[in-house]
Structures are given as structure tokens and as C-alpha cells.
A = this chain, B = another copy of it.
């Protein structure tokens, strides 16, 4: 199964939660540590390299995943086989919520960078919620966040000119980082995210770089001129 093909899954101890990169932000952020310590025995931590699949559309939904660090893309495939990115997950985000409804995953989740995730059995979440109904608030909060992101994708990243879309994407990716840094996606990923071709993504990225709107730092990071990108995002 593709969700077992990669990542070294190791057991989780209460100590892991204390030092967790997503501490205070994950699905279980709000529950009492003593309660959480009773659950973590069933958790597993795993790392993924770029391009590795965390779960695949159609896989039976047995786990939800809490992203500790890294960037994950959520994919749907069109009838023609082309992939479209319908969501992104970052540190603290929970993915695979469909597992809570005991159905197969609706999307494919693929690491875009080095990632660490915490794998939680969906049955355990359902059972815990049965005994602590107030936990539903935490679950609904995740779904609300995912619904919000979908709206952002539709309003910000799927409308306007290609220049505007790419500017908005860079600003979106900058949000969660310091010093106006953002992960630099491949041109193909930009295309799949924005509904444009790889060539157009490349052309505009190169243009932004020449114009000093972005500065490439490493192989996969860049620094953004947010003020200038903001102007482009708004169509000026």
C-alpha cells in the first residue's frame, strides 16, 4: 500500500508530545496531557521525503495524519489523468479527515518537502470522541480550516490573470514563514495549483526573479518582496 511504502514509522511516547514541533497546534492540542498520554501508544511518527506518498486516493481511510513540519500537497486526478492540487497542508494541519467517516481517502497526499507526520488511528479518534463528546469541537475546527482553504483556492488561486495568481500563491506560502521566505515549488506544481500551464508558470517565475520580486535562496526556498507582490495580486 502506498501509505506504507515510505516513511519509517516509530512508536510515540509522551515525551515526543512535549517536544512535538506541532505542540499546541495539532488536533490534540487542547486535551489534557494526562489524557493524551493514554492515547499516544497507538500513534506513530514517520518522516517522508519529497515526492513520497503519504496516502493515496482510494486507500481505506484508517488514519488521520498530523503534520509536524514540511509541506504536503493534496491531489485530485481529472478524468484525463491530469493532476490538480486541491489543497496544501503545513505544520500543525491535520489531513485525511475522511478516515473519521470510515470511507476511503478522497484525495492523494504527497510530500513536497521533507516532512514529519504523526499517524493517528481513526478508530481511536472516534472512540475517544464517544467518551469525550466535547472533542468534536477540535475535529470541526479542522474541517472548517480545510473548508476555508478550499474557498481561498477558489477565490484567490483560480481567478484573475496568471500573474495575479502566482503573486497570491507566493504570498500565501510566505504567511507561515519568517523573513518573507517561502518554499519554492516546481513549475509543474505551480501549474497544478493555479490552473495554468508549466510554461506559463516558468515564464512568470523567471519574470518575477528578473524584476527582483523574488530572490531564489536555495534549491527550494525563496525570499519574496511582499509589498510588490501584493500590488500585483490586486491587479496593479
Contact = CB atoms under 8 A, between A and B. Distances in A.
A150 interface: yes
Interface string A146-178: 111011011110110000000000000000000
A100 B155 contact: no
A196 B80 CA distance: 22
A40 interface: no
Contacts of A84: 154-155, 159
A39 interface: no
Interface stretch (A8-16, A43-51, A128-136, A211-219): A128-136
What is the interface of chain A mostly: helix, strand, loop, or mixed?
A: helix
Contacts of A100: 140
A147 B144 contact: no
A106 interface: yes
Contacts of A195: 158-159
A98 B144 contact: yes
Nearest to A144: B101
A207 interface: no
Interface residues of A, number: 40
Please name the 10 residue pairs, one residue from A and one from B, whose CB atoms are nearest each other, closest first: A150-B150, A143-B143, A133-B133, A158-B158, A130-B133, A84-B155, A86-B151, A76-B155, A86-B154, A159-B195
A50 B148 CA distance: 26
A79 interface: yes
B154 A151 contact: no
Contacts of A153: 150, 154
A150 B157 CA distance: 13
Nearest to A127: B133
